[in-house]
Amino acid sequence: MTHKPHTTFLKSLAVALLFCVIEPAHATFWDGNVLYKFLEADSRFQANEGKAVTNIAELRDIHDAGMARGYIIAIYDAHETSGVYCIGPNVYLSQLAEVVRNYLRDHPEIRKYGADRIVRDVLAERFPCKGRASKP
């Protein structure tokens, strides 16, 4: 069976492009420093919301903001029914991101810990269930 040269080229190009857009998997977990960096990007993204993206740095902020918010919502979902925290229905993801960012800004000494633990503990402190006191 023979292939037309342009068909083979197009298939090769498609495979090469696919490898360019696939995000690499990471075997390590984030620490608070990585999460804080992404949350700072989220803060910049919020400040520019509604404005046209004009450069690569703004595109990177959009990516990093999505990574930060995705991470926070994943930790939230993982512990939502455990009673570790009680977050009401009128609290938005942007508020959770701001709470965690502000805590990491004010307590840089905890950034060395795993980001999953930090998010869980900060949410537990800031959104405690009635009759329960938690501190990170």
The pLDDT score that the predictor gives to residue 20 is 46
> What is the residue type of 41?
A
Backbone angle region of 70, left / alpha / beta, with phi > 0 → left and psi within -120 to 50 → alpha: alpha
Q: How confident is the model at residue 18 (pLDDT cuts 50, 70, 90)?
A: very low
Q: What is the pTM of this model?
A: 0.73
The answer to whether the beta carbons of residues 73 and 120 sit under 8 Å apart is no
Residues 6+ apart with CB under 8 A from 57: none
> What is the residue type of 111?
R
Percent of the chain with pLDDT over 70: 75
Q: Which fold has domain 29-126?
A: 10k-s Protein, Hypothetical Protein A; Chain A (1.10.890)
Who wins on pLDDT, 130 or 20?
130
* Burial zone of 74 (CB within 10 Å; 0-12 exposed, 13-18 middle, 19+ buried): exposed
The residue ranges of every structural domain in the chain are 29-126
Q: How confident is the model at residue 105 (pLDDT cuts 50, 70, 90)?
A: very high
- The pLDDT tens digits for 58-75 are 889 999 999 999 999 999
